[in-house]
Structure 1
């Protein structure tokens, strides 16, 4: 590992504020300090950048695939590493490989692989299980015949797995999980998110109070907001501690709805960017398979649209840098806020903000260098380019 690195010549966004005329000092894979450039002008390890912005590396809570690989098709640590490498070119330096609804056997394989990958594959910080405990009525691109209620033996297996990886995140439908089982999961350190559900706002709030922390891809595959039935969307926006991922790709949610949600979010919970990315991110292929079904690319303005044969949206072709740009260009966010939604907020949601999501003394030196068009020029993982 590089023991010392000094980056100058670019503005620095440390996760809270932007700084000009400063240098970023890295030692042993962690941020040591941010100091005036004049203080390091004579150091031999200085790397002079030609403008742009240094920001915390992006953190993606929901990544199904990348680089031509899908986790469901090959649930191994090597697949997880390949997915992470594909997304690293787009500025994502930490992610949760995401397994959508599958069989018990495949789910068990993915859990074992994530335990291994969290130790051996840079950038893998755990696992996101999106299913199989979802509601068939809100299946999206998931196979409804594989969906089932969360039982006590599932809870025990998941709690045991949570001890073996930094982050274990689960998306559950309110119809498939009781408050007592959600409480047991969260007490064991599992981060529970509500999604793929037709629940009422009252039910959602009860599960938030039982420990559920957020919602998975707000608006998509869930009960919507109406004036007499606020649904999960209304509960997520109004229940202060709730967090929510959004897919800002121009296909999953209309920008008007996202702008309204951003203004309405009560806080302290926040909305943050996720990609819900599939195999085609970082790949030139035009199609792939998941659960034996073909998914095709269709042209789009911000990024391509991924659909099943019947036209159902099947994840996204979005990368995190594109989501940040969409936030600035279409959601009217300041650049710093859209960057927080790709780094600081997901880190804080996952409870890893002391290590990730910021460029503060002691933080991991996971860094992305962006040009003035918010395109990735280079990234560093633990101080290594």
Structure 2
């Protein structure tokens, strides 16, 4: 039986379009066509769009990639997030040992091809301890061949890989070597000056990890990493949970970019999304308090938010346009990895399509 969905806005070919309808049959999108005059749809959402893409998510459903670096761990994280409106997931491994990185590389090779599994993000271990955030300083270390080996293992199988590093701590030739393998290098957890950040970009880095977080503040005479990111044409990730970055700063950064299509929404979510309200990381209890994910000292330790809530926040709280917010959650992450974005097209599973109401909250398609 065919179900007709006629949204006010349908995200297609990089823009919001009206007057279109989507037909669903047998649990999948069958076609998109113009809405005929007088037709009565079964569902009329405000927005119909591809499910979100998250290139920085540490865990979900009670599982952290760090604690379960296996194909089953990857599958659990991906499946949990696909139920929450994130259709494509790049599980993120935060600073750990070379042995665990190698395990994740093998797990990724085994799991690749799983619907929704986009690739692996290695966030660390080659960071600046002065901007470590929740990462374990004991495991932060200089660049080493084992990292290159793990990236090479995944890239040989065609798996997208993103590596976050501090450019002032990693030689330019190491950045070039990662880029030569096809990895997307991102600048983050850094105390770099604007000049050091620019040197990282010149070496081949093409992204920045969670703007404003785990980097020096932007000052009038010390622009630092944030200004280098905002003024660049690189892709820039940002967390929109209302705790990591003030709404005014999100709006400022987005509106100041020379290329507005280079902003990328990320959740930086931990395993509490779709799971218990606490977990252990590096032997420390991390828990949700008043919507914030914090450690025993009350410091932020990742985020407790999903991508669709983040998208809504961009519009409702940061004042971005609906088109800007949708692009940041859908097309831009793929472009940041040098990949063609997911599209609404025949054959897309229900987990890969999202409908939002007028308040930008998800509504079921089934």
Equivalent of 1:293 in 284, 292, 302 = 284
Please tell me whether the aligned partners of residues 5 and 23 of structure 2 are also in contact (alpha carbons under 8 angstroms): no
8 Å CA contact 1:60–1:275 kept in 2: the answer is yes
Which residue in 2 is equivalent to 1:13?
Answer: 11
Match of 2:186 in 1: 193
Cα deviations across residues 212-245 of structure 1 (Å, max 9, x unaligned)? 01110000001221122211111111122x1111
Unaligned runs of 5+ in 2: none
Per-residue deviation at 1:260? 1.1
Q: 1:48 deviation in Å?
A: 2.9
Aligned match of 2:361 in 354, 370, 375? 375
**Cα deviation 1:245-289 (Å, max 9, x = unaligned):** 101011001111111111111226611210000111112x22111
Shift of 1:338: 0.7
247, 260, 266: which is aligned to 1:255?
247
Q: What residue in structure 1 maps to residue 334 of structure 2? A: 347
**TM-score, L = length of structure 1:** 0.87
Aligned residues: 364
| Residues 78/362 of structure 1: CA separation in 2 closer, same or farther (3 Å cut) | closer
Whole-Å separation in 1 of the counterparts to 2:209 and 2:200? 14
Instruction: Work out the CA distance in 1 between the residues paired with 2:58 and 2:125.
Output: 14
Cα distance in 1 for residues equivalent to 2:221 and 2:347: 48
Aligned partners of 1:194 and 1:5: how far apart in 2? 47
User: Contact conserved, 1:6 with 1:23, CA < 8 A, in 2?
Assistant: no
Aligned residue number for residue 231 of structure 2 = 238
Q: Which residue of 1 aligns with 2:163?
A: 170
Report if the CA contact (8 A) 1:129-1:169 is conserved: yes
Moved more, 230-239 or 20-29: 20-29
User: Of 49, 58, 68, which residue of structure 2 is paired with 1:55?
Assistant: 49
Q: Which residue of structure 2 aligns with residue 133 of structure 1?
A: 126
CA distance in 1, matches of 2:20, 2:261: 31
CA contact (8 A) 1:8 1:37 kept: no
Q: CA deviation at 1:151?
A: 2.4
Query: What is the CA deviation profile of residues 123-175 of structure 1, one whole-angstrom value per residue up to 9, with x for unaligned ones?
Result: 11110010111111111000001011112443244223212243111101113
* Equivalences for residues 1-385 of structure 1 within 5 A: 7-11=4-8, 12-14=10-12, 16-24=14-22, 34-38=32-36, 48-119=42-113, 121-240=114-233, 242-267=234-259, 270-283=262-275, 285-299=276-290, 304-353=291-340, 355-356=341-342, 358-359=343-344, 366-378=352-364
- The SS at the match of 1:106 is helix
Per the alignment, residue 382 of structure 1 pairs with none
| Larger deviation, residues 211-220 vs 99-108 | 99-108
- 2-side partners of 1:82 and 1:157: how far apart? 22
1:161-210 CA-to-partner distances (Å, cap 9, x unmatched) read: 21224311110111331111111111211000010010111111111111
Closer/same/farther in 2, CA of residues 40 and 130 from structure 1, 3 Å limit = farther
| Inter-partner Cα distance in structure 2 for 1:78 and 1:38 | 45
Deviations 1:290-333 (A, max 9, x none): 1211001111xxxx100110122111001011101110111101
Stretches of structure 1 lacking an aligned partner (at least 5 in a row): 380-384
2:45 and 2:355 in contact (8 A); partners too:
no
Distance 1:101 1:138 in 2: 13
How much is the aligned-residue C-alpha RMSD, in angstroms? 2.6
Are the structure 2 counterparts of residues 9 and 363 from structure 1 closer, same or farther at C-alpha, using a change threshold of 3 Å? closer
- Contact 1:72–1:291 at 8 Å: present in 2 too? no
